[in-house]
Chain A
Amino acid sequence: MHITPRRGRTATVIAAGVAAVVALSGCTASGGGGGASEGALLTVPREDTASFTPNFNPFTPDASPFTEQAIFEGMFIYNPADGQTTPWLAESWEATADGTGVTFHLRDDVQWSDGEPFTAEDVVYTFELQQEVLGGYAYVTEVSAPDDTTVEFTFDAPNSPAVFDVGQESIVPKHEWETFDDPATETNPEPVGTGPYTELANFGAQSFDLLPNPNYWQPDKQKIPGIRVLAFAGNDGANLAAANGEVDWAPQFIPNIQKAFVDKDPEHRHYWFPGTGSMIQWTLNTTKAPFDDVAVRKALSMAVDREQVTEIGMMGYAHPADCTGLSDNLDGWKDEAVLEACDWTTLDVDAANALLDEAGYARGSDGIRTKKDGSPFAFKISVGASSSDWLSVAQIIAENMKAIGVAATVDSPDWGQVVEGYEQGTFDTGIAWSGNGPTPWSYYRTAMSSTTLKPVGEQAFDNYHRFADPRADELLAQLAAAGDEAAQQAAANELQTLYSELAPVVPLFPGPEWGAFTDTRFTGWPTEDDPYATLSVRSPTTVLVLTTLEPVAK
């Protein structure tokens, strides 16, 4: 969700007479804009928070920036950009033979930032706390620590994708958290963590600094002197700071990035938007006719010009989806056979028209088709008004629909209203996100599983299109229970075949992960050629960037 208000063009000269009013204070302050003198700290903008309040509680949905990226760490890090998993607080792990559990072997040289040793007890305690405070992990029946460096998880059923969830949970220190009265509402203003930058300094409403953890377990990787986070009320201010070279990292959405950001210093400024976010899809409400007809869903999908959607609507920052519906982070899982037989996600107006004719949606005299009940084939495409890029995507799709005799209108109220329509199942169609994870299991579970299916009128948090298929349930259970990679791949292939056959939703493009940087002060950034992490500042891979960057030698 990126709010992109219009930018004013640069000013003509403002009327004279202004100068007379600038008699505010007779003093000229030292050190105006800052920037040059702040070469020391890695400066990162936060575009959606106008002012900070200290909250370093990783169990809260909106903790301060870098809480789970620089202060607390997980047992391993999964990188969606290259599909690799990096051992972190755990050296290794293995699933039990029947897939109903996993054992982690922790490092023995890790200390908390207050000098206390990190042990398996902390991991056990963290999961108890997580289940008590936030819920989730309902499938974890037991977490135990046979010794200081071993943690054993037991699940209620075979569940191979679960390892990625438990492995990336931010671990908190038991000795500190058990002293809190109410961990759920604790703001944890003086955090103790295992991360590389835990020491809070200069905390203010508009910025704060995180300095190196004196007891970090990889001291050779703490090459940067610290992190400075700046607060911004919206993208415009953050983009201005990026354009002026006052920040090192720009993780927010920058419209027209080549001209507005890169061209000002092409040698040092780069951006990289890997499609590792969730699949952005045109969600059709299958509880309403004619969207319950697979021929209609495929015909509508064939009528969408995805080249135009990604080039114009998304400014070339994304690329078209294929028939597997999987994002770029799952490229390695994609089944060649499905990709080769793929015909319903490429533009083919004639085939779309033929499909609709055949399915019995005849055109009327005005060129608009009629539904089975005789009413005109017309519907709304919902999208939140603040997402300007998705709005233009919806408009392009509405335009595309004319070619197949379908009348689509874009409906763009506030996101809250749009999401309510999705959750209650009252919408026609809409542009929405999906579930995404390290294996295809997460996506297909939200695309076509009865575990996520809710009747109309009951709040659904995923599977807004309300579609389920018993074969999908079976295959998802198989994938979850599969112990070895070959069996997982086999189940995933069958899921892809099924998805391509049913077309439960219309995938548009993998969601791009925004990220840009300037390497005038720090080098070692992840790029397309060296995708050791994404350029996100809100993902588990962020700590990989923090422990790789180094200051430019002056």
Chain B
Amino acid sequence: MAFVLRRLGFYLIAFWASLTINFLLPRLMPGDPISRMFAQVQGQMTSEELLQLKRLFGLGDVPVWQQYLDYLGSVFSGNLGISISRFPTPVTDVIASQIGWTLLLSATALIIAALLGNLLGILAAWRRGGLVDTVFPPLLVFVGSFPYFWLAMAALYLFGVTLGWFPLRHAYDAGLVPSFSWDFIANVATHLVLPALTIVLVSIGGWLIGMRNTMIATNAEDYITMATAKGLRPGRIMYRYAARNAMLPSVTAFGMSLGFVVGGALLTEVVFAYPGVGYQLLTAVQALDYPLMQGIFLTISATVLLANFFVDIVYVRLDPRVRVH
């Protein structure tokens, strides 16, 4: 318990630090939101209107320390202010309308990649020099080293445009109304295949190699030899003895990746026009939309910290060595 509390304290400090950086970084960028907007509309607005907007957005007339305190307070009250680039939609509404799709896409891809990658890694290490070991690691590392944007475009053209097997864009067909019907879920699933597939292809190699390498090291341990000598079934040794211990670094990696599911699918969302939060972050940065940037960064840093905290707790369960200090 003391361990958990200590970790919790550490995470709170990390959270405060990331909040402060979220606040400062956007404001260190050149220009201001109004100028950006003006550059966007290229002289379609009058300067009087722009100055009025500046007042409306609450920019410039509030000292920075006051903005900082308001922002810290707003984090805990859940009111993140009004987005500038999507004025007058509240930041929470903008994020809420998109984050579900991002989570669905990234989490699906992450879980598939982690499960498949680890499984292949276990098999590759267990039968070294076997079929799995000779084919998959080089192949998947090769695929994973493509520029992601190119791979996504290629998949879109090949399976979407040329073969027409999958839809080209969006999370579901235009005109459908979201519901929990079988038809709608099936529609979402077909739209998910290509974007998720490309993420899986790019990331699976890392899981495989990582798992394979720790597994090889574990296989050389004395207790594996012991278990073999005792005549246990190979499958039991592979999963219960070797993989269980070799899994630990993968759990850490999984926790870290879990944190990045919110911001990790930016390019995918751009290529497949998936209505997620990643592209929104890009536009928010381009428009210098402070409240929205803060909101999205806050969401990302909170998920990273939560995921790590969760991994810490799980680790205590998995690895007795952590408990010793």
Contact = CB atoms under 8 A, between A and B. Distances in A.
B190 A32 contact: yes
B270 interface: yes
Interface string B157-197: 11011101111111111111110000100110110110011
A14 B88 CA distance: 45
B270 A234 contact: yes
Interface stretch (A249-257, A343-351, A355-363, A415-423): A415-423
B133 to A, nearest CB: 14
A167 B136 CA distance: 68
A32 B189 CA distance: 11
B190 A415 contact: no
A231 B82 contact: no
A167 B275 CA distance: 37
B97 A51 contact: yes
A135 B275 contact: no
A415 B201 contact: no
Contacts of B189: 24-25, 27, 29
A459 to B, nearest CB: 8
B174 A21 contact: no
Contacts of B280: 50-51
A455 B178 CA distance: 55
A492 B162 CA distance: 56
B155 A14 contact: yes
Contacts of B192: 24-25
Most chain B CB within 10 A, of A38, A43, A60, A138, is at: A60
B47 interface: yes
B35 interface: yes
Contact of A417 (B31, B88, B89): B31
A240 B161 contact: yes
Interface in B7-56: 29-32, 35-43, 45-53, 56
Nearest to A463: B47
A187 B31 contact: no
B75 interface: no
A185 B50 contact: no
Interface string A479-498: 00000000000000000000
Nearest to B42: A433
A50 B279 contact: yes
A205 B188 CA distance: 14
A60 B193 contact: no
Contacts of A22: 193, 197
B169 A38 contact: no
A231 B275 contact: yes
Interface string B107-130: 010001000100000000000000
A13 B170 contact: no
A436 B46 CA distance: 11
A247 to B, nearest CB: 10
B276 interface: yes
B271 A237 contact: yes
A60 B155 contact: no
Contacts, number: 251
A304 to B, nearest CB: 21
Contacts of B187: 29-31
B80 interface: no
Interface string A17-37: 110011011011111111000
A434 B38 CA distance: 11
Contacts of B168: 33, 237, 240-241, 244, 246
A61 B41 contact: yes
Contact of B174 (A134, A184, A207, A459): A207
A337 to B, nearest CB: 28
A15 B143 CA distance: 8
B39 A50 contact: no
Contacts of A202: 174-177
B322 interface: no
A111 interface: no
Given A136-B48, A233-B270, A423 B183 contact: no
A136 B93 CA distance: 29
Contact of B31 (A13, A48, A416): A416
A222 to B, nearest CB: 20
A415 B136 CA distance: 44
B197 A419 contact: no
Given A33-B167, A53-B89, A416-B36, A21 B98 contact: no
Given A228-B174, A461-B50, A25 B186 contact: yes
B200 A21 contact: yes
Contact of A32 (B151, B164, B196): B164
A186 interface: yes
A416 B53 contact: no
Nearest to B46: A136
B3 to A, nearest CB: 39
Contacts of B161: 240, 244
A219 interface: no
B228 interface: no
Interface residues of A, number: 85
B294 interface: no
A209 interface: yes
Interface stretch (A3-11, A95-103, A113-121, A191-199): A3-11
A204 B49 contact: no
Contacts of B174: 34, 38, 43, 202, 204, 206-207, 228, 230
Interface in A186-224: 186-187, 202, 204-207, 209
Contacts of B200: 21
Contacts of A459: 35
A55 interface: yes
Given A21-B197, A135-B51, A416 B35 contact: yes
B30 A417 contact: yes
A276 interface: no
B87 A60 contact: yes
A278 interface: yes
A236 interface: yes
A241 B186 CA distance: 23
Contacts of B139: 15, 17
A530 B88 CA distance: 38
Contacts of A32: 164-167, 190
A531 interface: no
A232 interface: yes
A278 B155 contact: no
Most chain A CB within 10 A, of B94, B149, B150, B170, is at: B170
Nearest to B150: A8
B154 interface: yes
Contact of A241 (B88, B158, B162, B169): B169
A462 B43 contact: yes
A29 B89 contact: no
Interface string A394-426: 000000000000000000001111111001000
Interface of A: 1, 7-8, 10-15, 17-18, 21-22, 24-25, 27-34, 38, 43, 48-51, 53, 55, 57, 60-62, 133-136, 138, 184-187, 202, 204-207, 209, 228, 230-234, 236-237, 240-241, 244, 246, 277-278, 384, 386, 414-420, 423, 433-436, 446, 452, 459-462, 511
16 contacts: A7-B153, A12-B154, A22-B197, A24-B192, A28-B190, A30-B187, A32-B167, A51-B276, A55-B87, A134-B56, A135-B52, A138-B48, A187-B89, A209-B175, A386-B286, A419-B31
Interface of B: 29-32, 35-43, 45-53, 56, 82, 85-89, 93-94, 97-98, 101, 108, 112, 116, 135-136, 139, 142-143, 149-151, 153-158, 160-162, 164-178, 183, 186-187, 189-190, 192-193, 196-197, 200-201, 204, 269-276, 279-280, 282-283, 286, 288
10 interchain residue pairs of minimum CB distance? A11-B154, A135-B52, A8-B153, A416-B31, A461-B47, A51-B275, A185-B88, A50-B279, A233-B279, A207-B174
Given A21-B197, A204-B176, A459-B35, 4 more contacts: A21-B112, A241-B169, A416-B39, A434-B43
